[in-house]
Amino acid sequence: MLRFLGEKAAAKRQVLNADSVEQSFVGLKQLISCRNWRAAVDLCGRLLTAHGQGYGKSGLLTSHTTDSLQLWFVRLALLVKLGLFQNAEMEFEPFGNLDQPDLYYEYYPHVYPGRRGSMVPFSMRILHAELQQYLGNPQESLDRLHKVKTVCSKILANLEQGLAEDGGMSSVTQEGRQASIRLWRSRLGRVMYSMANCLLLMKDYVLAVEAYHSVIKYYPEQEPQLLSGIGRISLQIGDIKTAEKYFQDVEKVTQKLDGLQGKIMVLMNSAFLHLGQNNFAEAHRFFTEILRMDPRNAVANNNAAVCLLYLGKLKDSLRQLEAMVQQDPRHYLHESVLFNLTTMYELESSRSMQKKQALLEAVAGKEGDSFNTQCLKLA
Amino acid sequence: MEVNPPKQEHLLALKVMRLTKPTLFTNIPVTCEEKDLPGDLFNQLMRDDPSTVNGAEVLMLGEMLTLPQNFGNIFLGETFSSYISVHNDSNQVVKDILVKADLQTSSQRLNLSASNAAVAELKPDCCIDDVIHHEVKEIGTHILVCAVSYTTQAGEKMYFRKFFKFQVLKPLDVKTKFYNAESDLSSVTDEVFLEAQIQNMTTSPMFMEKVSLEPSIMYNVTELNSVSQAGECVSTFGSRAYLQPMDTRQYLYCLKPKNEFAEKAGIIKGVTVIGKLDIVWKTNLGERGRLQTSQLQRMAPGYGDVRLSLEAIPDTVNLEEPFHITCKITNCSERTMDLVLEMCNTNSIHWCGISGRQLGKLHPSSSLCLALTLLSSVQGLQSISGLRLTDTFLKRTYEYDDIAQVCVVSSAIKVES
């Protein structure tokens, strides 16, 4: 920011940082929700230091608590959201494979008398597994996810047989057990979702599609979205006929739904099908139809503009995207929209640099500190 | 891609962008459970993110289209699409603008512009846009030449050109193998099987929409790449509907000579033209490619001067029981033959009848049918051998061994003869 617009402009940016909020979980949540994730990462670091952990303290005798682990999880999750995968990997290292003795309740009998099991948040395990695929090791991700899935399945099996999670005698009420079954079922579903995503990243489309089909069993309310997603995968490999079949299935499923969401999904799929058949004009018509029903639909807006470009209407396309961004920068300032804008500016004229700078100014005023300036291609 | 930067200041700027199909944006889902520190915050952030799928925010493959970021690769058979934009960078009105786009290959120069008429005037900050499409039919270096001519307000005629070089690569590697029918029955022997091995040489997964063999005039073709399952035509490749880069797939076709050519096919020598493969494929978001191979040729198996083939033979016979076969002897040479048939016994095969009899004169390209009787003294799969044909004109003997197989079973299992 400083580099491009100078100090004065950088000062104009009113952004919350780690100092301007309460030094607690409350302050942390504030920073997260207004997208000041770098500040949030900082604050996590501070709070961890207060716990006796954090910077420069790896190698010393650990003393984890559920709170400290939550702070680590949030810090690592935000690093991933910021795209700082290498940093996240480094900070995950001292935790090994998340099964070290000092990560279990039994290690701290004075702090957690009688409690048993792992203190590691389940979501942290998912994060730990998924991180590898963003570092270019999707096979490692898959392996780790398989391990998590195996454990979830075993626990679920134990619970369904009336035992406790670890296979011992159950000492909870029927209600408690049901709640636990629901929890572990949802965790199993979450793992399967991750696995499907990972297979997709690995471009193993046959397995990815199978995996997404399994996910539907755990998230039946997401059936139309998942079927649409599989349709899109088919489009990506060039199998237009299969995509069409899936989109027809989506239509059947959404007929029972009321409200706009179902209709919009069907229109979106039709638009994509036309794209696959090289019919940009028809695709544009469908995206525009969605905007009539839902004027704030960012995807339809962006995609309609993209179609205009392919139809030879650069100026119209730019106008549509710019209007979208100006109307509600908070909502629409997204990496891919900006990517498209800058690509079109490059095509439009030799004065693209100025326009990009103007964009950066707009962004600076509205976004948190989490914005990825790379998508503006300012070099 | 740009080769020549402009040497003087022009009022108009020309920009070119290759229009490959857009790609779908992928998200990075980060979630947590309600009891975790952020509570619902992470989920809320994902819901607010305009590029996630509404209602399925964990799904990585979103719906937002992203424009191509670089030129990418282009392959033979694909369609080269490009946006050409001429922008008035100046603050004066420019007149009589003519934009021409040509594609120069090593062998020809093609005009790609949609319209050849000049645009009367172009105001400041306005642009002239065109999208050109061209199905690439050659491999190697291609140069897109864009020429812009215009007149300034002062009446000065200006002209500039920009060159954009790119390589067209080979998308598929096609290997063909011919197989002759295994059966010895001449009705089947003239069948030829073509195995086409197609390898994806591109960098993205490829969906083979159509691979068909267009036969030459002599043949009828049956494709053997789909089966009928529950009334529907199902591909033999099953769920593996696409080819990853460097993957290979084999397609099988059966070619049968048409009736009017059947006789000719029996004695054809040398090279015959079988037909050509027509391949249509699709890649990302339906990007289409199409290729036809050149005419595929086959070297006919040499039958020599005299061809002996079987018209009828049983599959299974009883041990030590005589059975009948019908042979067809064809004169594949240019001269008339006078043939004498000799039958020699082997360890397992015993011929019945008179050996050494004359078959009579046989003219070139004609054939005769012969009924023979034989029996086998050994059980199991036996090979029929021992026929000798001697042409008395040239005093040349042709030997025919292992002409067919027959399964010989013991009499305990009676076979209806």
According to the model, what pLDDT value does residue A359 have?
72
According to the model, what pLDDT value does residue A164 have?
81
For A58, half-sphere exposure in the C-beta direction (CA atoms, 13 angstrom radius) is: 9
According to the model, what pLDDT value does residue A56 have?
53
Contact, B46 vs B138, CB < 8 A?
no
The CATH number of domain A11-120 is 1.10.1660 = no
A347/B contact by beta carbon, under 8 A: yes
The residue in chain B having the minimum alpha-carbon distance to the alpha carbon of residue A304 is B65
The residue in chain B having the minimum alpha-carbon distance to the alpha carbon of residue A71 is B37
Which of A25-29, A137-141, A334-338 is predicted with the least confidence, judged by mean pLDDT? A334-338
Contacts of B209 in chain A (CB under 8 A): 238
d(CA B107, CA B117): 27
Cβ-nearest to B286 among A219, A225, A238: A238
A98/B contact by beta carbon, under 8 A: no
According to the model, what pLDDT value does residue B279 have?
95
- Token couple for A288: 């525009």
B367 has pLDDT over 60 = yes
A27/B contact by beta carbon, under 8 A: no
* Residue of B18, B26, B30 best to disrupt the A interface, most CBs of A under 10 A: B30
According to the model, what pLDDT value does residue A1 have?
42
Mean pLDDT of B26-54: 92
pLDDT single digits (tens) A282-291: 999 999 999 9
According to the model, what pLDDT value does residue B117 have?
78
Q: What percent of chain B has pLDDT over 70?
A: 91
The model's confidence at residue B274, banded by pLDDT at 50, 70 and 90, is confident
Contacts of B26 in chain A (CB under 8 A): 201
A341/B contact by beta carbon, under 8 A: no
Which of A214-218, A304-308, A344-348, B384-388 is predicted with the least confidence, judged by mean pLDDT? A344-348
Handedness of CA B287, B292, B293, B298 (dihedral sign): positive
pLDDT single digits (tens) B64-76: 999 998 888 999 9
The model's confidence at residue B272, banded by pLDDT at 50, 70 and 90, is confident
* Residue of B18, B40, B63 best to disrupt the A interface, most CBs of A under 10 A: B63
Mean pLDDT of A340-361: 77
pLDDT single digits (tens) A167-204: 778 778 888 888 999 999 999 999 999 999 999 999 99
- Say if the Cβ atoms of A334 and B22 lie within 8 Å: no
In the numeric block, the tokens 């399994």 are attached to: A214
Mean pLDDT of A32-52: 88
pLDDT single digits (tens) A262-278: 999 999 999 999 999 99
Residues β-bridged to residue B161: B147
According to the model, what pLDDT value does residue B186 have?
56
pLDDT single digits (tens) A101-146: 889 998 888 888 888 889 999 999 999 999 999 999 999 999 999 9
- Say if the Cβ atoms of A238 and B51 lie within 8 Å: no
A75/B contact by beta carbon, under 8 A: no
The string of DSSP codes covering A329-371 is: HHHH--HHHHHHHHHHHHHH-TTHHHHHHHHHHHHHHHS-TT-
The model's confidence at residue B136, banded by pLDDT at 50, 70 and 90, is very high
- Say if the Cβ atoms of B50 and A298 lie within 8 Å: yes
Mean pLDDT of B144-158: 91
* Residue of B9, B26, B42, B60 best to disrupt the A interface, most CBs of A under 10 A: B60
pLDDT single digits (tens) B105-135: 988 998 887 667 788 888 888 888 999 999 9
According to the model, what pLDDT value does residue A2 have?
44
Smallest Cα distance from A166 to chain B, Å:
21
Smallest Cα distance from B172 to chain A, Å:
16
A377 has pLDDT over 70 = no
pLDDT single digits (tens) B171-206: 999 999 988 775 555 555 677 889 999 999 999 999
- List domains and CATH numbers for chain B: 12-19+69-169 (2.60.40.10), 23-66 (no CATH), 172-299 (2.60.40.1230), 306-409 (2.60.40.10)
Mean pLDDT of A246-254: 94
B3 has pLDDT over 80 = no
Show me where the domains of chain A are located. Answer: 11-120, 122-218
Contacts of A272 in chain B (CB under 8 A): 63
Go through A54-83 and write b for each residue having 16 or more CB atoms within 10 A of its CB, e for each that does not. Answer: beeeeeeebebebebbbbbbbbbbbbbbbe
The residue in chain B having the minimum alpha-carbon distance to the alpha carbon of residue A311 is B131
Contacts of A302 in chain B (CB under 8 A): 64-65
Average pLDDT value over all residues in chain A:
87
d(CA B417, CA B415): 6
pLDDT single digits (tens) B339-363: 999 999 999 999 999 999 898 889 9
Smallest Cα distance from A211 to chain B, Å:
12
Mean pLDDT of B260-273: 65
